[in-house]
Structure 1
């Protein structure tokens, strides 16, 4: 079967790029022919390695190359037409059986291209995520319109795949919707020796953006500075808020406890020596870091934001769920975890046990069945 993915780019270290790369590699290993088409790679290196058997083509639309909002607005219609023309040409040339949009700009027109392929839409954010940004009134009107537009367009695809059952409930009225979560590759870690090489490290992973809520994490840690003595909190990620977050760390006298490190494509080495994941996002789709942590026997302390944490974390079994935005409760959960070794062991084993559902074998099997059903 020939499968074509459309995604904006593959240079970021974010969860969507990670899972699309991993799925492409896994499907290719099963014998499928996989092509990934990007629109804004701009000669930047692919962050997560692709197998040689996976074809990558960049069509250089570059929606974001203009700095100013006005320039982007003026150029958008031209770039949109160029994008549709380029994708149409590739589809007619490649003749895929399945064509998948990851809800980039191609999502607005991919469904209507008459090339004979089945059109799938997969979304990696929760419904209405744009409205969760604290933007001005004009932007909120635009975001509301775009959210409604997404709902109308999603209905036009042969199949619409979301990551969580929680998010599925938000897309009411769509009869083409199904749920397939992300997967992780199980690490080669001996469950019986999980804590032998682990250190007093709490980790947080993600882009340094408003969405990821690291300001909330720092605020929670500022309430328990004394209790955190002897522990290190390591944040791994890149992004526009780095200086602001580092300033917040300094102002709260947490520089000896919290450090920010660049994103790494060897996050497995970080997981292997850490005891807990601190998850502070304001909104998500299905966070890769949560299910990756499970596979390493790492429990999470997480805000119950939309969507993902409630689908992954079973409170007090494989992690701790905190009411979204409750900074005090988050700090208390951290304090309880670091002071209770029996709790650490219990949650660690629960995390490893519950990771079985998110194995690559299980999830890729679901994708394969979906493709086969559509192409009957």
Structure 2
């Protein structure tokens, strides 16, 4: 039995964290012994892990992300020594630089693989800049790097030439094998059209563009409702924008929803207005319920999942008029909705736990 030690920040809410949980479960199903060192307790997704997967917790919880990461390094060292893994894997830039710095300092020769999840050009501020500089010094020492999209891999290779040739492109696990799939494609849109958005209420997701999109729909006479799942620091300002636009009877903020399945089932179209992404897990989740997606062609991810006009649509970043036009075209029947739904459903099955875990395992076995 191969043993893998995984180093991660708090396993909570994000798409990367949900992917990690699914990957760990998939590896366990494939016969791996899995142990995870987490920097913080209380991650909402921990309960989704298989009971046989061991978690190594800090003695006390530290709320600061940076401090919790630094305080976890001695415990990570202890686990490497006692667990004696065949392979160490970390996910996201903070844990990656901490792991590789530790291995370099102690001359640990166990194979190490790092996973990157977002565009490095958006690492900013004091902490982000520090992490970026450490990445430049350490990422070249990893046995392999795994990126969730080709665009993100190329961005890292431009920033860190030492990583050129070390990347494998493996998408995130967007759906569980246990998902209850829609049995067949959807045949027609609801009236009013049921629009759905899923994601944190932060600048990256560019919800103002989405709200301007539905404002255009209202002015065109298109009947709709939009439900937004997520919370974040922009919630109040977005609600104020909705009131100013006079669309409070059509737009509903549902807050953070741990299991959005019922919302996917009742929706017609997923909207994604992001300025940037690493992959776009919600695109795959929506497609697994037969939902076509209208998304911005942002760097990176959506264009690697969505086939224009086949299972969804891509529009320029910030272009609310183009996004509204795609929805109106669907409503008018200029595009056959049932065909999009069927293609979306088929596309989603490329991203299930079994398929993606097998791809990870192939890379892992290649360095052991």
Q: Please give the TM-score of this superposition, normalised by the length of structure 1.
A: 0.86
| Other-structure match for 2:96 | 107
Q: Give runs of aligned pairs for residues 84-233 of structure 1, distance below 5 A.
A: 84-111=73-100, 112-113=102-103, 114-130=107-123, 139=125, 143=128, 146-170=131-155, 171-172=157-158, 173=161, 174=163, 175-183=165-173, 184-185=175-176, 187-192=179-184, 194-195=186-187, 200-227=193-220, 229-233=222-226
Write the distance in 1 (CA, Å) between the matches of 2:197 and 2:271: 5
Is 1:17 aligned to 2:17, yes or no? yes
1:143, distance to aligned residue in structure 2 (A): 4.8
1:273, distance to aligned residue in structure 2 (A): 1.9
1:295, distance to aligned residue in structure 2 (A): 1.8
Write the distance in 1 (CA, Å) between the matches of 2:196 and 2:357: 28
The answer on whether the counterparts of 2:5 and 2:35 sit within 8 Å (CA) in structure 1 is yes
Write the distance in 2 (CA, Å) between the matches of 1:250 and 1:345: 34
CA RMSD of aligned residues (A): 2.6
| Other-structure match for 2:275 | 282
1:166, distance to aligned residue in structure 2 (A): 2.0
1:371, distance to aligned residue in structure 2 (A): 1.3
Q: Give runs of aligned pairs for residues 227-376 of structure 1, distance below 5 A.
A: 227=220, 229-340=222-333, 342-375=335-368
1:156, distance to aligned residue in structure 2 (A): 1.6
- Work out the number of aligned pairs and report it: 355
1:81, distance to aligned residue in structure 2 (A): 5.2
1:191, distance to aligned residue in structure 2 (A): 4.1
- SS state at 1:166 partner: helix
Write the distance in 1 (CA, Å) between the matches of 2:58 and 2:357: 28
1:342, distance to aligned residue in structure 2 (A): 4.9
Write the distance in 2 (CA, Å) between the matches of 1:304 and 1:228: 27
Superposed CA offset, 1:304-334 (max 9, x none): 1111011011111110000122222122222
1:360, distance to aligned residue in structure 2 (A): 2.2
The answer on whether the counterparts of 1:283 and 1:305 sit within 8 Å (CA) in structure 2 is yes
Write the distance in 2 (CA, Å) between the matches of 1:60 and 1:274: 43
The answer on whether the counterparts of 1:198 and 1:272 sit within 8 Å (CA) in structure 2 is no
Write the distance in 1 (CA, Å) between the matches of 2:93 and 2:57: 14
Q: Indicate how the Cα distance of structure 1 residues 265 and 249 shifts in structure 2: closer, same or farther if over 3 A, else same.
A: same
- SS state at 2:26 partner: helix
Is 1:58 aligned to 2:57, yes or no? yes
Q: Please give the TM-score of this superposition, normalised by the length of structure 2.
A: 0.87
1:149, distance to aligned residue in structure 2 (A): 3.6
Write the distance in 2 (CA, Å) between the matches of 1:149 and 1:192: 48
| Other-structure match for 1:136 | none
1:65, distance to aligned residue in structure 2 (A): 3.4
Write the distance in 1 (CA, Å) between the matches of 2:4 and 2:284: 25
Write the distance in 1 (CA, Å) between the matches of 2:312 and 2:49: 32
1:195, distance to aligned residue in structure 2 (A): 4.4
Moved beyond 6 Å, runs of 4+:
196-199
The answer on whether the counterparts of 1:182 and 1:358 sit within 8 Å (CA) in structure 2 is yes
- SS state at 1:192 partner: coil
Write the distance in 2 (CA, Å) between the matches of 1:142 and 1:130: 8
Greater shift in the superposed pair: 307-316 or 184-193: 184-193
Q: Indicate how the Cα distance of structure 1 residues 369 and 44 shifts in structure 2: closer, same or farther if over 3 A, else same.
A: closer
1:217, distance to aligned residue in structure 2 (A): 0.7
Write the distance in 1 (CA, Å) between the matches of 2:151 and 2:93: 22
Write the distance in 2 (CA, Å) between the matches of 1:196 and 1:266: 25
Unmatched segments (≥5 aa) in structure 2: none
1:129, distance to aligned residue in structure 2 (A): 2.1
- SS state at 2:28 partner: helix
The answer on whether the counterparts of 2:27 and 2:34 sit within 8 Å (CA) in structure 1 is yes
| Other-structure match for 1:7 | 8
The answer on whether the counterparts of 2:185 and 2:290 sit within 8 Å (CA) in structure 1 is no
| Other-structure match for 1:29 | 29
Unmatched segments (≥5 aa) in structure 1: 67-71, 132-138
Write the distance in 1 (CA, Å) between the matches of 2:46 and 2:234: 21
